[in-house]
Amino acid sequence: MPDLILYRKDGACSTAAHMLLLELEVPFTAIPMKEGLNRLYEGADGTGLTREAFIKISPMGYVPALTVDGETTITELSAVLFYISSLAPERGMTGHDAVENAKVLQWMSWLSTTLNEYGFAGYWRPSRMVGLEASSEAEDAVRAEGKKTILKGFDILEGWLDGTGHAVGRHLTVVDFMLQ
C-alpha cells in the first residue's frame, strides 16, 4: 500500500476523500488545513504548514491534495477519489461495468463543475468568479445565478436518484461520497 497524505478541511469537498479512505480502510495521514489569505489554504493551527509550503505541494493552493509516496501529488476531488478507489478495485467504487463507469464519470463531472463551481462557489464565494475587487452588485448577480444553479441542481438530483439509496447502481460508489 502506498504512503498517503491527505490535505483536507472539514466542511470542504476534501471530506469526501477522507470518508472514502476510511470506508476502504486505507492507511493514510490526514493534515488538517484552513483557508488562508486570498482563499489559499495553509495548515491548521499546530501543523506548522505555511501557505508557501503547501503551494509547493499543491500549486493551486487548495484541498483536497493527496500525496502518494512523498513523490506525487494528486489534486481535484474527482481525480483524488478515482485514485483512492483504485487501491481497492474489488469494491467497484467507480462502477462494475462500462455503463456504471460512465455514469460515475457523468456524476463526478456534473457535481464538480456545474453544481459545486457554478452553484455553491458562485453563491458562497462570488469573488472567485468576479475577483476580489469586484463591486457588491457584481457579487450579488453572481450569487443570484449561483442560487438558481443550486435549486435547478437539486431538481436534477431528484430526477437522477432512482431510490436505490445509491447514485449509481445498487452499490456504493465514489459519487455517494461526493453527495454527502
**Cis peptide before 2, with omega less than 30 degrees from 0?**
no
Domains and CATH numbers, the chain: 4-91 (3.40.30.10), 98-178 (1.20.1050.10)
**How many C-beta atoms lie closer than 10 Å to residue 160's C-beta?**
14
Q: What is the pLDDT of residue 128?
A: 79
3-class DSSP assignment, residue 127: helix
The answer to whether residues 33 and 42 touch, using CB atoms and an 8 Å cutoff, is yes
Mean pLDDT, rounded, for 112-137: 86
For 57-88, how does the pLDDT look when each residue is reduced to its tens digit (9 = 90+)?
A: 999 888 999 999 999 999 999 999 999 999 99
Q: What is the pLDDT of residue 169?
A: 81
For 146-161, how does the pLDDT look when each residue is reduced to its tens digit (9 = 90+)?
A: 999 999 999 888 877 7
Show the cell assigned to 16: 469526501
Band of residue 35 on the pLDDT scale cut at 50, 70, 90: confident
**How many C-beta atoms lie closer than 10 Å to residue 113's C-beta?**
12
For 2-32, how does the pLDDT look when each residue is reduced to its tens digit (9 = 90+)?
A: 999 999 999 888 999 999 999 999 999 999 9
Per DSSP, 38 falls in state G
Residue 134 has pLDDT above 90, yes or no: no
Q: What is the pTM assigned to this prediction? A: 0.88
